Amino acid sequence: MAELRILYFAWLRERVGRSEETLELPAEVRTVAALRRHLIARGDGYPALAEPTVRVAVNQAMADAATALAPGDEVAFFPPVTGG
């Protein structure tokens, strides 16, 4: 799979306007931070990803800005969790 699967949850899903999408991984996007910049540059609802509270998970495990990305990865962006 050469594509990245990207998921959005809660108010981030509403702001971005979709719950998931796939992205052909651009050559220059090799980390979470680079992916975030790439998506924010799309405009519309995507600048919501710039909110400092936004969390990210890669392949269902918590990740950070420096986490490396590879084709086939599942990346999820979401607000701080509020279950329980």
Partner 1 sequence: MADGPRVAVQPAPFDVAAELAALTAGRHDIGAIGSFVGTVRDSVGGRRLAAMTLEHYPAMTERALAGIVAEATQRWPLLGVTVIHRVGRLQPGEGIVLVLAASAHRAAALAATGFLIDWLKTRAPFWKQEHFDDGTSAWVAARSEDEAAAAAWGEAPPPPA
Can you give the binding site for partner 1, defined by CB under 8 A? 7, 9-11, 53, 55, 57, 60-62, 64, 74, 76, 78-84
Kindly tell me which of 50 and 62 has the beta carbon lying closer to partner 1: 62
CB of 76 to partner 1, least distance (A): 6
> What stretch of H or E contains 38?
helix 32-40
How far is the C-alpha of 30 from the C-alpha of 52, rounded, in Å?
20
Tell me which H or E stretch contains 56: strand 55-58
Closest to partner 1 by CB, 12 vs 39, is 12
Q: Minimum distance from CB of 13 to partner 1 (Å)? A: 8
The first and second tokens of residue 11, run together, are: 């108010």
